[in-house]
Amino acid sequence: MSASLAPECNEVKERYDSCFLKWYSEKYLRGKGTTDECEALFKDYRKCLTGALKERGIDKMLEEAREDHKENDAANMRRSCKLPCCTEVSILTLD
């Protein structure tokens, strides 16, 4: 598994990745899982990553880039993905 964008979030990302890969391969692909059992871990990782981006000032750059490219983002977000993680707001969306 890959490292997080923020080293301080590596541990929580690893826990989420492990959980998701197990759920995806053992349940979702076999039609046995309709809800993402790893949602709480995903939220923990998103919270850690969001905090790290804010500490580095990257959150403002992301907001500016999104504002400059609204039309492209809207078109890309309309693509259909059936995974539960796709129904969540992007991991980098800042609350």
Alpha carbon distances (Å) from 28 to 1, 83, 92: 20, 9, 24
Span 12-35, pLDDT tens digits: 999 999 999 999 999 989 988 778
Rounded to two decimals, the pTM is 0.66
Distance CA 26, CA 11 (A): 23
Q: What's the structural domain count of the chain? A: 1
The answer to whether residue 89 is domain-embedded is no
The answer to whether residue 37 is domain-embedded is yes
Q: Which residues contact 5 (CB under 8 A, 6 or more apart)?
A: 49, 52, 53
The answer to whether residue 58 is domain-embedded is yes
- pLDDT tens digit at each of 95 positions of the chain: 788 889 999 999 999 999 999 999 999 899 887 788 899 999 999 999 999 999 999 988 888 888 888 777 666 666 656 566 555 545 555 44
Report the amino acid identity of residue 15.
Answer: R
Determine the structural domain holding residue 51 and report its residue range: 7-78
